Amino acid sequence: MIHVWMRAESRPNEARAGLTPEGAQALLERGFHVTIEESPARAIPIEGYREAGCEIAPAHSWPSAPRDAIILGLKELPDDGSPLIHRHIMFGHAYKGQPAGQVLLKRFLEGGGTLYDLEYLTDEAGRRVAAFGYWAGFAGAAVSLMAWAAQQRGATCPPVRSYPGKDALLAELADTLDAASTSRPDALIIGALGRVGTGTADLCAAMNVPTTRWDMAETAHGGPFPEVLAHALFFNCILARPGTPVFVPESAREAPRKLTVIGDIACDPESDFSPVKVYDRATTWQEPVLRVHDRPPLDVMAIDNLPSMLPLESSLDFAAQLLPSLLALDAIDEGIWARAKAEFERHATPLKGDQP
């Protein structure tokens, strides 16, 4: 019997879920065993899972789950260095040379577990089967506009929070922008045709922000891209990978520019492939931007769990995309899951020589 165990997220400000009660019921009907950890932070209440017939476990009890359980989560695990014996489905952020990712892979090697990275669950054509991209773009554009509004007041962006739904976010943001200025800034979106770019563009349209929308055709020449500096806001919506051109070089800090806010929604500053070179770490809900230059100001927004600002909508969307793949876990050595395991082995195997 396949045992899916959804853990409570340990990261602060993380309220999303990769499985809904309806999805859990579909797994149960397929004959799976489903365990859901309690979590006061999760946007979807535990009662729905209990009513569906799931086993309920205490929060953060997954380390003692049966060894054959498949642990489903979203964001990072507690950084306690413990060996990982289970198969985990999660965002590992470990395949682009990130230092924390290398530590994570070594923990899997030490414990004999396997990472099935959600970012690398792909179909036969190499397309991701489930992503939070749209809501990352939507929320990331909102926070970036909050940062721009704060600049108009001579301040930096205040802490951000989660919202019960997008209408509440839009209403608050419109009031904030109207109070800051009688006009709207312009924005350049790179990756505008993808999920992240679409969410970014939709938020900008809702706030009457004029946008220039670029995708692969406009960036194929590899740069430089002076147009980035000619807009008040720049949104990077392209996943960093080998060959990604640099959109914002380190020299942009002191270059003549209209640009004052960068929304690095793809947010992979520790990767060698990052196309935004003016900063080196992710930002947080408490400190949403990193000011990398003072006069004129240049703020970088790089929160890496943006969809949790709209946790219910983003969870329902993502879980619906992921469910068909979860239903195929009874064939975990085939198809999408076999490809994800091969990706793990490709990146983890070179680290075996570092093991004691």
Catalytically active residues are: 75, 93
Name every residue whose Cβ is closer than 8 Å to that of residue 45 and which is 6 or more positions away in sequence.
none
As a whole number of angstroms, the distance between CA 173 and CA 227 comes to 26
As a whole number of angstroms, the distance between CA 184 and CA 170 comes to 15
Q: How many CB atoms lie within 10 A of CB 96?
A: 18
Concatenated DSSP letters of 19-78: --HHHHHHHHHTT-EEEEE--TT-SS-HHHHHHHT-EEE-TT-GGGS-TTPEEE-SSPPP
As a whole number of angstroms, the distance between CA 110 and CA 352 comes to 9
The answer to whether 326 and 2 are in contact (CB under 8 A) is no
Q: Is the dihedral of CA 354, 351, 85, 131 positive or negative?
A: positive
Q: Is 301 helix (H, G, I), strand (E, B) or coil?
A: strand
The answer to whether 212 and 189 are in contact (CB under 8 A) is yes
Q: To 10 degrees, what angle do helices 335-348 and 99-111 make?
A: 110
Name every residue whose Cβ is closer than 8 Å to that of residue 6 and which is 6 or more positions away in sequence.
17, 18, 19, 24, 34, 35, 36, 37, 72, 73
Phi and psi at residue 128, to the nearest 5°: -65, 140
| Token reading at 177 | 């922008």
The answer to whether 35 and 4 are in contact (CB under 8 A) is yes
